[in-house]
């Protein structure tokens, strides 16, 4: 099953079980329904489903207004860069809303456009920034297990959060992985266990971690592999225990943000450990970064393995 179909089926299952949820956004029940992401949601939703005008700033405010009136909602958005127009509401309105304890849920569900070919605009892969600017809960997901766990636990629950996945995964087959452990509140998941190295992936970079793990395995290096799904929290006790055991840490983070949650995590690691080896793989920003180009990280996996084991 394609990943977009899988996410769509999870959304349907979850929305079907939650009556009186308002679903809204541009084209969510028309045309391609956001490339299939929201197709058929209106048929299972007992609440209201609205195709809205192109008014992102106001639509974020609408979600908060619904929340004040004790009505839960999900705002679907084709591209995360559209959400820049709603920053005033995300910061200023949420700073008021958070003073109470809202019983209603408000979730914004944008797709992170991470292919890169869109050019200087429309290729915003900066989830960390949205979450950081007002301390907003945010979750990204990339595969069958984390998507299922996060949508079922976070899509509709009291409070406000942003959920997102990468556009580059949507038309691919759903990635199936065995989950060995998970952090509180879906903050992270562990997919591999090893004694030699700890690999921690952030944002949408789990696929790189899987590739690296595979190459390490071929070279007889046993690595633990984690993916951090939250974009605000940096305390992960289980990961910290693993790092204490291996003393070797590889961080992979494909965000374009300069406000990386992985940097804050690394600072936390160093406050508790003296690492024997540490390799950080993040995205260099050059002039080229703003031209239409492949947005994938260019990683020399063999060199990374050399650096960490020697």
Partner 1 sequence: MSLLAQFQFNCTIYILLPILLMENISTIKKIIWLRLAQVIVNQRYKNGDFKVPVHLAMGHETIAVAIDAIMATHDSLFLTHRNIHYNLVKMGTLREELDEYYLRNDGLANGHLGSMNLSNADKNINYTSSILGNNLPVGCGYALGNRVRNNHGVVFIVTGDGAIEEGAFYESLLFLKSNNLPCVIVVENNEWSLATRISERRANINLMKLAESLDVEYMLLSGNDPFDYQDKMNKNKQKALENSSPVIVEVQLTTLGYWYLKNDEHPDGKFINYHGGPAPEVEEQEYPLLASSNDDPLFVLNKYLSKDELFQISNELSFQLKEELS
User: Which residues here bind partner 1, judged by CB under 8 A?
Assistant: 20, 22, 47-48, 50, 52-53, 55, 57-71, 88-89, 92-93, 96, 99
Report how far residue 138's alpha carbon sits from residue 221's, in angstroms, rounded to the nearest whole number: 33
The nearer residue to partner 1, 67 or 212, going by C-beta atoms, is 67
Place of tokens 């996996």: 301
- Cα four-point dihedral sign 213, 254, 177, 5: negative
- Nearest approach in angstroms of CB 71 to partner 1 is 4
Q: How far is the CB of 62 from partner 1 (least distance, A)?
A: 4
Q: In the complex with partner 1, which residue's Cβ is closer, 70 or 171?
A: 70
Kindly tell me which of 85 and 234 has the beta carbon lying closer to partner 1.
85
Tokens for 268?
């936390």
Pick 59 or 197: Cβ nearer partner 1: 59
Q: How far is the CB of 124 from partner 1 (least distance, A)?
A: 20
| C-alpha to C-alpha distance for 126 and 132, rounded to whole angstroms | 10
Q: Which residues contact 267 (CB under 8 A, 6 or more apart)?
A: none
What is the b/e burial string over 214-247, where b = at least 16 CB atoms within 10 angstroms of the residue's CB?
A: eebeeeebebbbbbbbbbbbbebebbbebbeebe
Smallest distance, Å, CB 213 to partner 1? 45
CB of 158 to partner 1, least distance (A): 15
Nearer to partner 1, 72 or 255 (CB): 72
């Amino acid at each position: 099953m394609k990943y977009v179909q899988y996410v769509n089926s999870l959304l349907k299952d979850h929305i079907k079980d939650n009556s009186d949820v308002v679903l809204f956004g541009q084209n969510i029940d028309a045309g391609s329904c956001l490339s299939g992401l929201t197709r058929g949601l209106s048929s299972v939703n007992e609440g209201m489903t609205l195709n809205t005008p192109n008014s992102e700033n106001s639509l974020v405010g609408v979600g908060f207004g619904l929340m004040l009136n004790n009505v839960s909602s999900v705002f679907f958005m084709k591209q995360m860069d559209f959400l820049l127009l709603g920053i005033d509401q995300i910061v200023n309105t949420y700073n008021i809303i958070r003073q109470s304890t809202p019983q209603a849920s408000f979730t914004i569900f944008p797709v992170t456009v991470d292919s890169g070919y869109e050019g200087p605009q429309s290729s915003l892969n900066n989830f960390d920034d949205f979450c950081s600017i007002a301390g907003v809960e945010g979750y990204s997901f990339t595969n069958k297990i984390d998507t299922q766990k996060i949508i079922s636990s976070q899509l509709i629950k009291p409070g406000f959060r942003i959920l997102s996945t990468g556009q580059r995964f949507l038309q691919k087959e759903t990635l199936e992985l065995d989950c060995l452990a998970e952090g509180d509140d879906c903050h992270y998941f562990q997919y591999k266990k090893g004694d030699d190295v700890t690999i921690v992936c952030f944002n949408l970079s789990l696929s790189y971690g899987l590739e690296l793990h595979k190459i390490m395995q071929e070279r007889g290096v046993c690595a633990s592999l984690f993916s951090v799904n939250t974009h605000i929290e940096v305390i992960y006790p289980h990961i910290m225990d693993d790092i204490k055991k291996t003393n070797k840490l590889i961080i992979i983070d494909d965000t374009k943000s300069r406000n990386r949650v992985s940097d804050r995590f690394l600072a936390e690691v160093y406050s508790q450990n003296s690492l024997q080896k540490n390799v950080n793989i993040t995205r260099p920003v050059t002039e080229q970064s703003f031209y239409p180009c492949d947005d994938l990280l260019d990683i020399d996996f063999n060199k990374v393995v050399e650096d960490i084991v020697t």
